[in-house]
Amino acid sequence: MIYRLLAKFNDDFGLLVFVVYLGLFLLAFVSVFIFPPLALVIVITGLLGFVGVWGVVMLMRGLERSMARRAIQQGGCPCCQGALLATDVVDPDGGFYQQCEGCSQAFEQSGRRAQDEDLYEEDETGVSAL
């Protein structure tokens, strides 16, 4: 449950940051006409805020991968506790992707959730490797 919330947060955090920065842009635009120094403060705060955003992204992705690695070592899917099967597709770490029987989510050995394009290697006939 915690893992799924964390994964959802990591999936949607970029959109949240975009919406917040869009709102701050509109506030800064309006404040140029009302109180110009506020626009300057918002721009500087926004630029420095990228460091905080980067820190949050690194922390939350690290937590998600740590939880996934622990679940994978115990043989269960981090999302649904289903059984994991090793695929024949090699991940970037040199191991094999582990795919859940229940929810079909695949994981690298590092705990990263695999995307569809990671798993399917098209050959010349267009048939996927899995």
Neighbours of 59 (CB within 10 A): 10
Is 24 a binding residue for Zn ion by CB under 5 A? The answer is no
**Mask 51-80, x = binds Zn ion (CB under 5 A)?**
--------------------------x-xx
Q: How far is the CB of 80 from Zn ion (least distance, A)?
A: 4
Of the residues 102, 120, 121, 130, which one makes contact with Zn ion according to CB under 5 A = 102
Is 100 a binding residue for Zn ion by CB under 5 A? The answer is yes
Q: Are 129 and 89 contacting, i.e. CB atoms less than 8 angstroms apart?
A: yes
Closer CB to Zn ion, residue 5 or residue 40?
A: 5
Instruction: Spell out the residues 6+ positions from residue 119 whose beta carbon is closer than 8 angstroms to its own.
Output: 87, 89, 97, 99, 106, 128, 129, 130
- Please give the residues from 80 up to 99 whose contact with Zn ion meets the rule CB under 5 A: 80, 82
Closer CB to Zn ion, residue 28 or residue 72?
A: 72
Q: How far is the CB of 83 from Zn ion (least distance, A)?
A: 9
- The angle formed by the CA atoms of residues 82, 85 and 86, to the nearest 5 degrees, is 145
Of residues 83, 130, 89, 92, the one with CA closest to residue 110: 92
Q: Count the site residues for Zn ion by CB under 5 A.
A: 7
Interatomic CA distance for residues 71 and 80, integer angstroms: 10
Return residues touching Zn ion (CB under 5 A).
77, 79-80, 82, 100, 102-103
